[in-house]
Chain A
């Protein structure tokens, strides 16, 4: 341990033990525990306690329970556990009966403090740290802790209950692994006594017929099989499996969720996955006897297993497909024509679950859709994947939700009523529909037509809620992308063109929607569309024939900041593709319109919110990178204006964006780096001289902006600027070349100004930045040193243990020196 920390420790322990100085900050105690844990990982705990007797004193102080706050008591319990994890230290603490005092029956168990959940949690966590060695096992038995752990499993605090269950698993595994027991049979005598009592308790719980007890026992088993992969777990299962499988025989399985977790945890364990214990049979049986909603997560878990019999996987896949099969069957004119596994006809529980109520129907469908979506993304998704039928079922679900389905069957009629305007299902189905766009190669034209029709219906319908609409936009984009991928960019897809023609009138309406979320997602969608199809003649024609560009430009003045930001991005993209509205069009002869760059500059200077300003900077950077004509015109003057504005921005992200723009500008001004292996471009512009470059940078005010940013109070800004100046120095003042003017009086002035800036006096004028001065400054500044300092996280000083101890002491005013203030 750091000697300085050792020095501070007694004072800190005194403060902690002093009930008159309550420690109000829990996080400090947590940090302290973390630190002790790290220290004991490398050092001997025994030595630590011997060198710092104050720690033992602190722990013994905790034994005087009346005097100690519940916070310190919990802390002491956990601390004792951390120290006692090492066996010799455990012995040391045991000699003083300290551990028995803290964790035994004479401990906090009977005290009022035990009612505080954090104390119970501290007790458990202490034991959790402690239960690492054979002596600990004996200690647990001796002090009667195991029974307390049993009762804590049903604790009112979920954290305590869960920790108790974990502890039980740890004790069980400690108890069994401690002995070299050759064979664990079903008779009690084979098992170590501590393990026996735990197993006995589990058996009793499983037999009890009370759901909470059964659930607790199942949780313990799940954790055990998840964590321990030794052969004894198999013996444990052999012993308990009759009791567990018994649970499946009831009419309704009350603990279905925990059972599924247990079986999945077993299936993932190498002990069971390969053995011939009837796990797969049990899983198949479980799948068939759980209710549809309960079986879903189990089926998904089975399908995600790496090792699993194919028949079981098929059964599990059918479980997930069944709700959709029901939907298809309800919509079908001829029963049984869906092609998916039999739905309602053969599985009345499925129909019951679907038709019982809106909530159960929505839950089941959403679960099924989410699980199928998850599966589709997996590399080993089930085969064969019924793409077409899934598409049809999803489209049909969406039609049921929108009320556009006209089913003939009575089940269909009821489903229609149940699903009508169910936003949850709409969102889930649109998400899944979007996912289904992957792998559309085998999709018949008819299915694709259906997909685009339903998407258009949702985009068009005034009934679509903003969140549903957003999902519809996302799904549409995915389908458009996958269609264009399938057909190649030069080969317009037969569905896309008519769809786009229908789309823009809808977009117009959405851009005028009073709900800002709708306008925002429409703009985002427009940006993506333009990025991908901005170059296609048909798209351009359809877009320009609509009012969409004008409406987008108008949204630059939207009252909602998010919308303005999205409008800026969208306009940037439209302009990149030459698709933005021409200023002072014939419809608005009187309107005095600024050019788009001017308008964006206006937003950058005056918008009160950060998002639109950040978006503007991104657009400018993008334009500059792409060599957008709007920027080419009088570039220097424009850049000068931008850097001037951005250097005063209050939002650090905008300033970082500004520096990114500066980097691009710098790179373009410098031209490509002199690379000996670079292929010389025939028509490359003649390389600009460093002095010329620096003059240009000075004219556009980039240098002043960069120097100012170097001392920015926000670290990312300073870092970015540092990188930028390093690049500049490497290319303009790499040792030789332009001679610096170290003794140049102007350089001295600039340096003085920079020093003032660093000290926080940003008002000081910088002086004239002639190339020589800049070179001199770049050479003088310790940019590498600055970069290294900035690279360290800002709280590296504050995170040291010493600082933690000092802070804690300072918080209670125990750091000397203040006594004199008392008059």
Chain B
């Protein structure tokens, strides 16, 4: 059993598991932090961004001046932003049988894999994962395509050139694999390969293994996966949460008794408690608006935003914010808000019961109805007519490199009355803000990451007790900035195996058993014999039939009397030779009794020697040795077949036959 690790990002995993005869890709995350090296794509012509000075090498060589621009003391690539793909060289993607998706954030690299690698398999995901994943991809494509940029920079990627660049460009990894965003056509084609599954549904893969999605509690339709054969179980835990937010709670019980538990997608901010962060978010929002400032919340169009809106729904009245407009701007804003209301079966119990009242499960419906929350596909069009300040704007993209958020940062960045509040933990907020400096706007960082923290992981591992844990290397040591926090790492016994990008791990367990079915008529013919209390044995003669990874023992064909007994059968004949078998023996030979028996049968001058493995009975007179060991007995006599047979029969008296 092998694990091919294609992504080094612990929360955007992409691994391939080779298990029995199957090749299973686990998630297909896309690392978008690479976009932080690029200049933002302004929605409205920005004089500041379009007139940036070019950056040239120290020797004055200016051939990079079209590609690299200097902005706020940093150097950025002036090009269409590019993403860091999972490793594709490690394994031939055309051999991948299936891709299991755990949540909508972990499928963003899917079009790159399904469309350009020869992949011919099936993708499994839940319905909300597919629908919201589609929205995220659609938003991404839309953000990038609506600001067409002619230029695609590639010179800087040259290894010899990259070495000479300032940080962080110099240290960017795998730049040669960075790719531009996919098109909507590729998205559609990739998503068409998805087959929908429900929680706890058992999916057979070629009869060899069974895969089952389990609720993971993190997002709408998010799942962990159990991959099992009859005697082996691998659990894949990715992006799970034990907090009570909108999705169905995590199913922990089904993860028990795993041989290997692959653990990814833990919280990215282990020291921040989501409750405290929500409090911080609300109070900063209220204080800014009170002082006449605007609040900008860079976010994804789905996920935490539902919880934030719910929290604000309860909060705005107490904070006297009833008259402050909330704007949600995204090409998929409408779909996201509406989709969330129709996936009742994937929601937590409280929200499910609302549906029967009937009420919309999320209160943002009421916010929309009362005009407190308004949503627009972009800043163009209706929004510009309705726009009223001070206000709160939720918009993407959290990287601050594309999407409507770029416009608001340009618009509001100069006033210290305004605040940008970062809630998504995927990007370093300082890096995200780098091209906008100097910024007068206040910046508040309250990352809300509901995924498991290390305390919860340690409880989970105690509860489900896997034999081995495998996780990204980042989880096996404290975060570099808090090296003394030994609690911020996975602590389990035996220690977790760690992986990093482009590594192949041999998983630490061997398959020892295979299940074989016995046909009823064959079972009927067996005559078990009890050899120990509770243990019975029977010999079986049968034909082993293997098809689709299922093994069946069938009764042997009736041995047709050979027409000519002398004719030798062909070796290639697939019906095995059913000759009469010698009986199988079991039991042990008690040496003292055996010696007594020998004496009774007239042997004299018997000596017994103890050896490391058993005993040697010496019949000195007959010059014969009987070696009795745990699993063998040898009679060594000098060509006296009669004597050997006599002795053999005496030995056999002590053994059971069947």
Contacts and interface: CB of A to CB of B under 8 A. Distances in A.
B21 interface: no
B276 A514 contact: no
A462 B276 contact: yes
A547 B287 contact: yes
A403 interface: yes
Contact of B486 (A406, A417, A461, A516): A417
B484 A514 contact: no
Given A416-B487, A417-B487, A417-B488, A463 B283 contact: no
A420 B487 contact: yes
B279 A518 contact: yes
B570 to A, nearest CB: 70
A289 B320 CA distance: 61
B333 interface: no
A585 to B, nearest CB: 12
Contacts of A416: 484-487
Contacts of A560: 318
A417 B314 contact: no
B627 interface: no
A789 interface: no
B315 interface: yes
* SS class, residues of chain B in contact with chain A: helix
A413 interface: yes
A414 B486 CA distance: 6
B487 A513 contact: no
A702 interface: no
Nearest to A563: B318
Given A515-B279, A559-B318, A463 B290 contact: no
Contacts of A412: 484
A500 to B, nearest CB: 19
B484 A420 contact: no
B450 to A, nearest CB: 15
A519 B486 CA distance: 35
A509 B283 CA distance: 5
A464 interface: yes
Interface in B318-340: 318-320
A547 B290 contact: yes
B240 to A, nearest CB: 20
A172 B256 CA distance: 57
A269 interface: no
B317 interface: yes
Contacts of B488: 417
Interface string B302-317: 0000000001001101
B484 A558 contact: no
Contacts of A518: 279
Contacts of B287: 508-509, 512, 547
Contacts of B291: 547
A413 B486 contact: yes
Interface of A: 403, 406-408, 412-414, 416-418, 420-421, 461-465, 508-516, 518-519, 547, 550-551, 554, 557-560, 563, 587
Contact of B283 (A403, A414, A418, A510): A510
Nearest to A587: B292
B271 A462 contact: no
B113 interface: no
A515 B314 CA distance: 10
Contacts of B276: 461-465
Contact of B278 (A465, A514, A519): A514
A547 B417 CA distance: 14
Contacts of A554: 319-320
B320 A421 contact: no
- Greatest chain B CB density within 10 A among A463, A518, A547 is at A463
Given A514-B319, A516-B318, 6 more contacts: A413-B485, A417-B485, A518-B279, A550-B290, A554-B319, A587-B292
Contacts of B482: 403
Given A512-B319, A547-B291, A403 B279 contact: no
- Greatest chain B CB density within 10 A among A418, A462, A550 is at A462
B272 interface: yes
6 contacts: A407-B484, A462-B273, A463-B273, A514-B282, A514-B283, A514-B318
Contacts of A514: 278-279, 282-283, 311, 314-315, 318-319
Contacts of B290: 547, 550-551
- Greatest chain B CB density within 10 A among A418, A464, A513, A519 is at A513
Given A510-B283, A512-B286, A512-B319, A462 B277 contact: yes
A104 to B, nearest CB: 54
Contacts of B277: 462
Contact of A509 (B271, B273, B284, B487): B284
Contacts of B263: none
A462 B279 CA distance: 7
B482 to A, nearest CB: 8
B280 interface: yes
Contacts of B271: 403, 420, 463
Nearest to A464: B276
B107 interface: no
Interface in B440-455: 446
Interface string B472-501: 000000000010111110000000000000
Nearest to B482: A403
A511 to B, nearest CB: 8
Nearest to A461: B276
Nearest to A515: B279
A299 B134 CA distance: 66
B272 A513 contact: no
B484 A413 contact: yes
3 nearest interchain CB pairs? A417-B487, A512-B283, A462-B276
A421 B284 contact: no
Contacts of B446: 462
Given A463-B273, A547-B290, A418 B487 contact: yes
B493 to A, nearest CB: 15
A557 B446 CA distance: 27
A663 B42 CA distance: 70
A245 to B, nearest CB: 40
A740 to B, nearest CB: 56
A629 B335 CA distance: 58
A515 B279 CA distance: 7
B280 A559 contact: no
A772 to B, nearest CB: 53
Interface in B252-285: 271-273, 275-280, 282-284
A307 to B, nearest CB: 46
Contacts of B282: 512-514
A461 B283 CA distance: 13
Contacts of A558: 318
Nearest to B453: A421
Nearest to B289: A512
Nearest to B454: A417
A557 B280 contact: no
Contacts of B272: 462-463
Nearest to A412: B484
A333 to B, nearest CB: 13
B317 A559 contact: yes
A508 B282 CA distance: 12
Nearest to A403: B271
B461 to A, nearest CB: 15
A406 B486 CA distance: 12
A557 B320 contact: yes
Contacts of A461: 276
Contacts of B278: 514
Contacts of A515: 279
Nearest to B278: A514
A563 B315 CA distance: 14
A557 B271 CA distance: 35
B478 to A, nearest CB: 8
Contacts of B487: 416-418, 420
A563 B273 CA distance: 25
A200 B276 CA distance: 61
- Greatest chain B CB density within 10 A among A413, A463, A512, A547 is at A512
